[in-house]
Homo-oligomer: A and B are copies of this chain.
């Protein structure tokens, strides 16, 4: 009878059971079933990282010298062994202790539906290389590639040229013990002296028209380390996208200037986040960028002129990877910048990020995403189909173009209600400070209350009668005093007829956009299963007031979810998960862009949405 030539091994805590050739090296057995364990020296008994526990020592080969050096007597007694020094002779159960496991990690990002599986584009791997000798004259690069292939199964196809130039010095200075940063499992982008594998950071940046925010994260754990933010320095060339586009289209120099400012803003954000977290710039290996299409083009230094001219086509819609040093942005010299794809001229990478963070692309439920800003992006659909459009809602909700409007800074009135009995105004100012003006959420409250108590009519015009001295005329124009100087405000804080018009224009744009999208998909508000309201502003608004003034479609409040900076969350997901990065590519190509201007019903819808419905018809 033939002798048994195979052994059965159970690996714990994985619970994996497999058959192997008798005498197989434990490390090879683990690799062959896809269980990743640490092995910095590539299986040469040097690093002592591939620890395994085998309770019954009779099942395996005898303890060798290398194990005596790397494991303490008490560890050896407890059954600790090195997987690279141990052969499996008989059926055995083998436990891989936590310190040796390379685990799949998950991380939850606020505003997202489910934990993200951490799988960043960058991996840092500590490597103890065999030194060259007359009988092993492999080149420095080949030696490194062989190690990565043998130890991690990595098929490297590219070594950053900047690394090729310095590798001989680094390897010898490091006595052949280095930490290698591998990008997308295929390119070596950094080689550092000694073990720096714990210092592996990345930053996700959301470039807004007015604000830039950066989320510095640990790429191995997904953990958020610090947030940096800055005003967009481009603002000196205009507050809105259109004025920047027209400046850039004047010529190459103007374009370069706007790019320089975008880069400057991003660098300020990175530095702030580094300072707050104590991380060093040189340990940032990856950056993701989202932003509207104009910011996307300007950041990359691509002429955005044609975004502003019919038919409003972007130069570049595809996701792009460039070396940070090409811009240049100061990070690790081999760092990569991944710029997410855009959908259309006015539906940018921020909308793509909204889609991946809200996960509407994989839900069966019909969802509506509203990302409110100067341009409001709307996305409607589900797993089957997604359509998107952009509406020029204007900056009213950011407090701009409003007589007493301010951003949500200290002293901004953020909430208010009118007491119907005496028309007194109860308000709340940011930081409980002396009121200096009114911000977006306050403006919505003001208009809703004016409507509710008959101070304005359905077309937004102030009541002819004056039930309260707060409704006054200044230079023949009516306005409502929210807080007067006498009442403690820095100045009389009022809402004018023109302010109300601005709100009407903004809310009508959003509402009409939603209507057109619903019409395209042939659905009614009641068919919508989820509504995601994104944008920093979304978290602070009174939802009933927003519905009352007809800014949001008539969808039950329980179906609404405020997701904050969903674009930033999407950028963070793309930073720590290459899978989500891939999804972003697919999504950007799949979403069907709807040009509102082309829809024959848009004007009608928009005009009709300018009116307020009667306050009673809502609740």
Q: Kindly identify which residue among B140, B317, B344 contacts A315, using a CB–CB cutoff of 8 Å.
A: B140
Q: Kindly identify which residue among B136, B165, B168, B300 contacts A306, using a CB–CB cutoff of 8 Å.
A: B168
Q: Which of A136-183 contact B (CB under 8 A)?
A: 136-142, 145, 159, 161, 164-169, 172
The answer to the question of A342 belonging to the interface, with a C-beta cut-off of 8 Å to chain B, is yes
B134 and A168 contacting across the interface, CB-CB below 8 Å: no
Known contacts A135-B598, A137-B344, A318-B142: A169-B313 contact under CB 8 Å: no
Q: Which of A415-432 contact B (CB under 8 A)?
A: none
A318 and B132 contacting across the interface, CB-CB below 8 Å: no
A315 and B161 contacting across the interface, CB-CB below 8 Å: no
A302 and B159 contacting across the interface, CB-CB below 8 Å: no
The 8 A CB mask of A304-322 against B (1 = contact, 0 = none) is: 0110001111111110101
The answer to the question of A395 belonging to the interface, with a C-beta cut-off of 8 Å to chain B, is no
The 8 A CB mask of A323-340 against B (1 = contact, 0 = none) is: 000100000000000000
How many copies the complex holds: the figure is: 2
The answer to the question of A292 belonging to the interface, with a C-beta cut-off of 8 Å to chain B, is no
Q: Kindly identify which residue among B136, B165, B316 contacts A141, using a CB–CB cutoff of 8 Å.
A: B316
With a cutoff of 8 Å between Cβ atoms, the chain B residues found around residue A311 in the complex are 132-134, 136-137
Measured CB to CB, the closest approach of chain B to A208, in angstroms, equals 21
A165 and B301 contacting across the interface, CB-CB below 8 Å: yes
User: Nearest chain-B residue to A318 (Cβ)?
Assistant: B141
Which of A167, A169, A314, A593 lies at the interface centre, i.e. has the most chain B CB atoms within 10 A of its CB? A314
The answer to the question of A515 belonging to the interface, with a C-beta cut-off of 8 Å to chain B, is no
A169 and B139 contacting across the interface, CB-CB below 8 Å: no
Main secondary structure of the interface of A (DSSP, over half): mixed
Measured CB to CB, the closest approach of chain B to A467, in angstroms, equals 49
A137 and B168 contacting across the interface, CB-CB below 8 Å: no
| CA–CA, A468 and B310, complex, Å | 96
Q: Kindly identify which residue among B137, B165, B315 contacts A313, using a CB–CB cutoff of 8 Å.
A: B137
Known contacts A165-B301, A311-B134, A326-B161: A139-B317 contact under CB 8 Å: yes
User: Nearest chain-B residue to A301 (Cβ)?
Assistant: B165
With a cutoff of 8 Å between Cβ atoms, the chain B residues found around residue A322 in the complex are 161
With a cutoff of 8 Å between Cβ atoms, the chain B residues found around residue A593 in the complex are 137
The answer to the question of A595 belonging to the interface, with a C-beta cut-off of 8 Å to chain B, is yes
The 8 A CB mask of A344-356 against B (1 = contact, 0 = none) is: 1100000000000
B313 and A132 contacting across the interface, CB-CB below 8 Å: yes
Measured CB to CB, the closest approach of chain B to A395, in angstroms, equals 25
Q: Which of A563-619 contact B (CB under 8 A)?
A: 593, 595, 597-598
The 8 A CB mask of A107-146 against B (1 = contact, 0 = none) is: 0000000000000000000000000111111111110010
B137 and A318 contacting across the interface, CB-CB below 8 Å: no
Known contacts A168-B303, A168-B306, A301-B165: A137-B595 contact under CB 8 Å: yes
With a cutoff of 8 Å between Cβ atoms, the chain B residues found around residue A141 in the complex are 315-318
With a cutoff of 8 Å between Cβ atoms, the chain B residues found around residue A317 in the complex are 138-139, 141-142
A320 and B137 contacting across the interface, CB-CB below 8 Å: no
| CA–CA, A312 and B302, complex, Å | 47
Which of A135, A316, A317 lies at the interface centre, i.e. has the most chain B CB atoms within 10 A of its CB? A316
With a cutoff of 8 Å between Cβ atoms, the chain B residues found around residue A306 in the complex are 140, 168, 172
| CA–CA, A401 and B212, complex, Å | 68
Q: Can you spell out 5 A-B residue pairs with CB atoms less than 8 angstroms apart?
A: A134-B311, A137-B313, A139-B318, A141-B318, A161-B320
The 9 closest A-B pairs by CB, nearest first: A139-B317, A139-B314, A168-B315, A132-B313, A134-B311, A141-B316, A140-B315, A168-B303, A161-B322
Further contacts, 17 of them, CB under 8 A, given A137-B344, A165-B300: A132-B311, A132-B313, A134-B311, A137-B313, A139-B314, A139-B317, A139-B318, A140-B313, A140-B315, A142-B317, A159-B316, A159-B318, A161-B322, A167-B302, A168-B302, A168-B303, A168-B315
